[in-house]
Amino acid sequence: MHGAFLPPDPEKGDPNTIGGYAAVHGRPAAFEGIDGLSYSVELATDSTGEAARPYGAFILFLRWNETADPVVTGHLETPFLEYGATAQEARTRLGLMTLAAVRETLNRMIRESRSAGSTRPWWDAMHDEDGT
C-alpha cells in the first residue's frame, strides 16, 4: 500500500533511537541536512573480513532531490560504526544510536564532503573501483 498512513506503535521500540524510530513508525527516519536537502537513513551491514568481528554496520544517508519528484540524487556513507558476530547483531547495535547522534553524523559528513570538494554524483563514483 503506497502512501498509507500507519500510526506509530510505541510498543515496538524506543522512538528516540534510529532502529526504534523505524520500528515504531514503520518507515526509515529522514532529516534535513545543514545543506537544506532531505536525507533518509538506511542501516546497512557488510562483511569486514576480520575473524574477531565478521560484520560491521554503517549508515547510508540517501539524498533526495529538491523538486516534487522523489529521486535519489546522491548519498553519504559512514564507515563501520558497530560490529557483531552476525549482520543482525551489528545492525541491532547500530540501531541503538540516538536520532540526535545520527543527525550530528549526517551534518558532520556534509561538512566533510564540502571541505573535500566532493561534488560528484554517486552514479559517477560507482564506476570507479576505489570510489574516487
Average pLDDT per run of 10 along the chain, which is 132 residues long? 67 91 92 94 97 97 84 93 98 97 97 74 52 50
- pLDDT value, residue 3: 57
CA distances from 25 to 9, 11, 86, 103, 132 (A): 7, 11, 25, 18, 36
The DSSP string of 71-101 is -EEEEEE----EEESSHHHHHHHHTTSBHHH
| Region of residue 26 (phi > 0: left; psi between -120 and 50: alpha; otherwise: beta) | left
Domain boundaries, the chain: 18-113
- pLDDT value, residue 1: 42
pTM above 0.85, yes or no: no
